[in-house]
Amino acid sequence: MNARPLPASLLDNPRLDRWIHFQPDRTVRIATGKVEMGQGVVTAIGQIAAEELDLPIDRVVVLSGDTTNGPDELYTTSSLSVEVSGGSVRLVCAEVRAKALERAALRLNCSRDDLSVVDGQFLQNGAATGQDYWTVAGEIDLTQAVTGAAPVKPASSYRVVGQSVPRFDLPAKLSGAAFVHDVLPKDVLHARTLRQPNRGATLASLDEAAIRRAAKGELQIVREANFVAFVSPIESVAQAAAAAAPAHAKWDNVRHLEAAHQEAAWLKGQASDDRRIGAWPAPATPPQHLVQMTVSRPYIAHASMSPSCALAEFRDGHLTVRSHGQGMHPLRKNLAAVLGLPVEAITAQHLHGAGCYGHNGADDAALDAALVAMRIPNRWIRLQWRREEEFGFEPVGPAMLVTLHVDLDERGRPADWTTEIWSPTHVQRPGTGSGYLLASEALAAPPPEVAPFDPSEERGGGGTRNAVPIYDVPAHRILHHLVVRPPVRTSALRGLGALPNVFAIESLIDDLAARAGEDPVAYRLSILSEPRARRLVELVAERAGWASRGPSGTGKGLGLAVARYKNRAAYAAVVAAVTVQETVKVDRVWCVADAGLVVNPDGARNQLEGGIVQAVSWTLKEQVKLDAEGIASRDWESYPILRFSEVPEMQVEFVDGAGNHTLGVGECTVGPTAAAIGNAVNHALGVRIHDMPLTRDRIMAALLKA
């Protein structure tokens, strides 16, 4: 039997016991390096294990993000968890199932082919044998490397995968303690920080006496170069100290920003690292029918509901950290590098936090807690960021400016297409060479500045993500200006560049349809040969009653958009219905997606819905604001997000994709949703707004200009 190519996670973590462990209580522990952030990955991976092992789902316990007992799968990103970690768990479980049956066959002195597994029990020609995984577990050598050679079940026989199994983690979250924030070890000390305003800023003076007066209680001030933490057995004392501290700290070398830096338009003309991708050189002949369009979106906050938090304890030379970061193995390595500890002297364990939708302050809070723990050993430190700290110091999703230069053929179809992108980097994750844990820059010997870079095209790109149209375009090329000195720290936000790029492409396609005098759906279908995408466009148009779409300019609009996330993950087609008066109200959204074999349909629908709502919020409302000192939007009033009264009705569905392999689904709706809204607003007003967010001021300006 030929072994299939192994997923990267299995090449990095080949030993079976890194993934699976039979526990004395007759459960099986499946370990994954991917972590639960509310996206349901732990449940989906449990389903895959239960399926391959033929176990009831309640016999499966999933251990997620644990450097001691689990695999290193880097970060939980890019809608890859079910594909990569789930794919790994499937192969591991198939192999362990085969090994267990071999052992049972030896014991029973029968052929392996006589045995079957039903609800974890081993049957011989259908009859009970008294044997199961736990009776033979001691005889299976799980220190062996996975070969990938054991046969996996055919999808046609699945009974757990493909079912809407309820989330494992939700009951606890609805009834009490559930998050890292909620863990209070004995004699825990609470900590808060004073943040260095920017890299290079130095703390000239700190009026500790004034801070102690404001804190009104037992307080330790931990200071290491330009890192300061306030530590107390009383949480409110640490909080009061941190709230008072900025007024009592004087900094030198503070960088001053301007409000203009917050706009995407500022990016053009800044120093950039330029790359050319695709069909270069451009044609020497002048374009015949050149159409150009520029769109933008501003800096966007992850805006997690919970400020970042971490627990750390340094005892007997060993550091234990509990964090809601997106990767515990990377966190361990990054902490080791900053603290000068061997990697083996650190344990990192994931505990739940609020949804992060990308790289927020979680890892940074873990270093903050560790720095305090190293200075105050033998005590658990619980360090939590303040709300204004979360908004003010988390990395934000980068602003982007996208210009399309498209030459049309005689029939008004794209003949030659150049996409020009201006964007800061989309990834400054610590440990990838692109960024650092925040507090490391405040220490006596900060790490050298890095030259920013984006994820490679092979990994879906960053600013270039989804820049390649899904349509039949004879020649496409990208000019990517990676802006090297943005005003704020930028990193991964759900979808990376997909949202502005899909917004640009789908806005232009609608305009081209209008130019050709054709219906936007008909025009799309005339240049879209990808069968899976065509099917979604046709279906979503039918669901939304596209055929009876009214005239333009009535204040009511219907818009459609489609994309395949990363041009290789799930497909989604979206129609948005809007009402535009002074502001845009998204009334209803229809979405049809194709994610191949869906492991947990309700959980995946929840992801589609969540992506839609978040994209509505980004498109209509959100922009990180700057002032001289940095990020100025530091609360929910200055950074409003979509509310219950503003959330659209939604109708989302998956087409039956069981014949195709599983595609990541968490980010596939954000681009099409933003673009569908843009097209719907254009339909409602008869005027296109090119810059997100689509605010009242921009609507008024567009109407005046029209």
Residue 550 as a binder of other proteins (CB under 8 A): the answer is no
Shortest distance (Å) from residue 273 CB to other proteins: 32
Shortest distance (Å) from residue 62 CB to other proteins: 17
Residue 437 as a binder of other proteins (CB under 8 A): the answer is no
The neighbouring-strand residues paired with 423 are: 482
Cβ neighbours of residue 245 closer than 8 Å, sequence gap 6 or more: 194, 206, 211, 228, 230
Shortest distance (Å) from residue 250 CB to other proteins: 26
Residue 358 as a binder of other proteins (CB under 8 A): the answer is no
Distance, in Å, from the CA atom of 1 to the CA atom of 68, rounded to the nearest integer, reads 33
Which residues inside 619-648 make contact with other proteins, applying CB under 8 A? 635-637, 641-645, 647
Residue 602 as a binder of other proteins (CB under 8 A): the answer is yes
Residue 38 as a binder of other proteins (CB under 8 A): the answer is yes
Query: Which one, 185 or 433, has the nearer CB to other proteins?
Result: 185
Residue 37 as a binder of other proteins (CB under 8 A): the answer is yes
Looking up tokens 């405040």, which residue turns up? 442
Query: Which one, 280 or 636, has the nearer CB to other proteins?
Result: 636
Shortest distance (Å) from residue 485 CB to other proteins: 29
Residue 280 as a binder of other proteins (CB under 8 A): the answer is no
Asked whether the beta carbons of 543 and 519 are under 8 A apart, the reply is no
Asked whether the beta carbons of 322 and 180 are under 8 A apart, the reply is yes
Distance, in Å, from the CA atom of 129 to the CA atom of 115, rounded to the nearest integer, reads 9
Residue 195 as a binder of other proteins (CB under 8 A): the answer is no
Query: Which one, 222 or 589, has the nearer CB to other proteins?
Result: 589
Shortest distance (Å) from residue 36 CB to other proteins: 9
Residue 574 as a binder of other proteins (CB under 8 A): the answer is no
Residue 187 as a binder of other proteins (CB under 8 A): the answer is no
Cβ neighbours of residue 11 closer than 8 Å, sequence gap 6 or more: none
Shortest distance (Å) from residue 238 CB to other proteins: 11
Shortest distance (Å) from residue 35 CB to other proteins: 12
Distance, in Å, from the CA atom of 474 to the CA atom of 466, rounded to the nearest integer, reads 17
Asked whether the beta carbons of 504 and 295 are under 8 A apart, the reply is yes
Token output for 291: 């159409």
Cβ neighbours of residue 609 closer than 8 Å, sequence gap 6 or more: 650, 652
Which residues inside 87-116 make contact with other proteins, applying CB under 8 A? none
Residue 343 as a binder of other proteins (CB under 8 A): the answer is no
Per CB under 8 A, the segment of 19-27, 382-390, 480-488, 505-513 that binds other proteins is: 382-390
The helix (run of H) or strand (run of E) holding residue 536 is helix 531-543
Token output for 94: 């198939």
**Which one of 75, 357, 436, 546 is in contact with other proteins (CB under 8 A)?**
357
**Which one of 609, 622, 667, 691 is in contact with other proteins (CB under 8 A)?**
609
Distance, in Å, from the CA atom of 147 to the CA atom of 145, rounded to the nearest integer, reads 6
Q: Give the per-residue contact string, 282-321, with other proteins (x = CB under 8 A; - = no).
A: ---------------------xxxxx--------------
Distance, in Å, from the CA atom of 579 to the CA atom of 684, rounded to the nearest integer, reads 7
Residue 158 as a binder of other proteins (CB under 8 A): the answer is no
- For the purposes of burial, counting CB atoms within 10 Å of the CB of 581, is it exposed (0-12), middle (13-18) or buried (19 or more)? exposed
Task: Count the residues in the chain.
Answer: 706
Q: Is 574 left (phi over 0), alpha (psi -120 to 50) or beta?
A: beta
Residue 392 as a binder of other proteins (CB under 8 A): the answer is no
For the chain, how long is the longest CA-to-CA vector? 86
Query: Which one, 258 or 635, has the nearer CB to other proteins?
Result: 635
Per CB under 8 A, the segment of 92-100, 176-184, 282-290, 618-626 that binds other proteins is: 176-184
The helix (run of H) or strand (run of E) holding residue 403 is strand 400-408
Per CB under 8 A, the segment of 33-41, 101-109, 138-146, 450-458 that binds other proteins is: 33-41
- % helix, strand, coil for the chain, step of 5: 35, 25, 40
**Which one of 320, 423, 440, 606 is in contact with other proteins (CB under 8 A)?**
606
Residue 387 as a binder of other proteins (CB under 8 A): the answer is yes
Distance, in Å, from the CA atom of 395 to the CA atom of 364, rounded to the nearest integer, reads 10
Query: Which one, 301 or 496, has the nearer CB to other proteins?
Result: 301
Distance, in Å, from the CA atom of 4 to the CA atom of 400, rounded to the nearest integer, reads 40
Residue 202 CA from chain centroid, whole number: 33
The neighbouring-strand residues paired with 654 are: 593
Distance, in Å, from the CA atom of 369 to the CA atom of 335, rounded to the nearest integer, reads 11
Query: Which one, 174 or 209, has the nearer CB to other proteins?
Result: 174
Residue 127 as a binder of other proteins (CB under 8 A): the answer is no
Shortest distance (Å) from residue 123 CB to other proteins: 33
Pairing relationship of beta strands 571-580 and 556-564 according to DSSP bridges: antiparallel
Residue 613 as a binder of other proteins (CB under 8 A): the answer is yes
- For the purposes of burial, counting CB atoms within 10 Å of the CB of 48, is it exposed (0-12), middle (13-18) or buried (19 or more)? buried
Residue 672 as a binder of other proteins (CB under 8 A): the answer is no
**Which one of 197, 353, 486, 500 is in contact with other proteins (CB under 8 A)?**
353
Residue 185 as a binder of other proteins (CB under 8 A): the answer is no
Distance, in Å, from the CA atom of 161 to the CA atom of 158, rounded to the nearest integer, reads 6
Asked whether the beta carbons of 364 and 307 are under 8 A apart, the reply is no
Query: Which one, 188 or 210, has the nearer CB to other proteins?
Result: 188
Shortest distance (Å) from residue 384 CB to other proteins: 8
How big is the site for other proteins, counted in residues (CB under 8 A)? 58
Per CB under 8 A, the segment of 48-56, 143-151, 234-242, 460-468 that binds other proteins is: 234-242
Cβ neighbours of residue 448 closer than 8 Å, sequence gap 6 or more: none
Interacting residues toward other proteins by CB under 8 A: 37-40, 164, 166-167, 169-179, 181-182, 184, 234-236, 303-307, 352-355, 357, 384, 386-387, 602-603, 606, 609-614, 617, 635-637, 641-645, 647, 649-650
